[in-house]
Amino acid sequence: MNLFAQHAIAGQDVTIELFADEAKNIRNVETGHFWHYIGIVAVPTEKKEALLRRLLDARGGCDSEIKSNDLDHLPKRRTAEQWCRILLDDHAVGSIYLNVVGINRTLLNSRAFGGEQFEPVYNRFFRSAVLYGCKRFFSGRRVVISRLWHDEGDMEHHEYFPWHVLWRLDQDPSIECQTQRVDFCSSDHRKPRGCPESHLLQFVDLVLGLMVQLLDDTSRNRNRCATARLLAPLLARMMNEPNNPNSRYGHKDKYLISFFPRSALADAELFDQLARARSGFYLQRPLIQIERESGQLHLFG
């Protein structure tokens, strides 16, 4: 980092921990397109313990793993509802910063993004999602990433992901990574690889899964749909009013969502700057579950 950059951001550090989860090969019920999703929550380190305590208190004695696709058990559903309210009310506390990125696998030119396999695509977009989120969440401040937590799974064994993401992020003058590798643990706090941070990974899984439910109508399960509806007003505002400073959810530069690509590009169009711009990231998609429930959904034949 040059001396000018050091002076420009000196004294403005914010230290955070990151918690990440993914959803892959999600089929949209209206279009038939398949989607990958990345969900990342950034938590300022000085607010982490208080947030964890709120999540634990909201369990009300429920010790089960909280997952968006398993809400039929009443204590799990009540915990999920309380966790949704924690997200909705966090503007008063400022402990949760959320970035969700949806990748349309059906429209994505796989040759330009690492091939047909999920792992290289995820690796490419994950780093961009972290970098973009940090710059939006903490604009003008130097971000120190102390830990990056991820649910155990295929990405743990990827050739590059466990170290490459942090190494590349550390090249940016506004980012410092205090850790060199992603911390993988079980999202289930009861398992041998579980830990206190498992509860925060469950929180990411829940929020991401419920937003995916609203966007793609992945399930007709009554309890999943009802819980997802709690987040519908927030998700609609994230897409339609991303820069509204007066939202009661305080979501501006705090809760982000984007999708890619807007349209498919042929190989020749990859070198056309205008075509790439037209096919870039976008913000607005319909909430298919809500449209179906209101009778407005017209499925493709």
Residue 252 lies in a domain: yes
Residue 178 lies in a domain: yes
pTM to 2 decimal places: 0.91
List, for residues 158-201, the tens digit of each pLDDT value.
Answer: 889 999 999 999 999 999 999 999 999 999 999 999 999 999 99
List, for residues 218-262, the tens digit of each pLDDT value.
Answer: 999 999 999 999 999 999 999 999 999 999 999 999 999 999 999
Residue 64 lies in a domain: yes
Residue 53 lies in a domain: yes
Between CA 49 and CA 51 the distance in angstroms is: 5
Domain count, the chain: 1
pLDDT at 30 over 70: yes
- Domain extent at residue 239: 3-293
Residue 189 lies in a domain: yes
Number of other residues whose CB lies within 10 A of the CB of residue 253: 16
CATH number of the domain that residue 186 is part of: 3.30.420.10
Residue 300 lies in a domain: no
Indicate the pLDDT class of residue 5, thresholds 50, 70 and 90: very low
pLDDT at 291 over 60: yes
Dihedral pair phi/psi, residue 191, rounded to 5°? -85, 165
Residue 298 lies in a domain: no
pLDDT > 90: what percent of the chain?
80
Residue 202 lies in a domain: yes
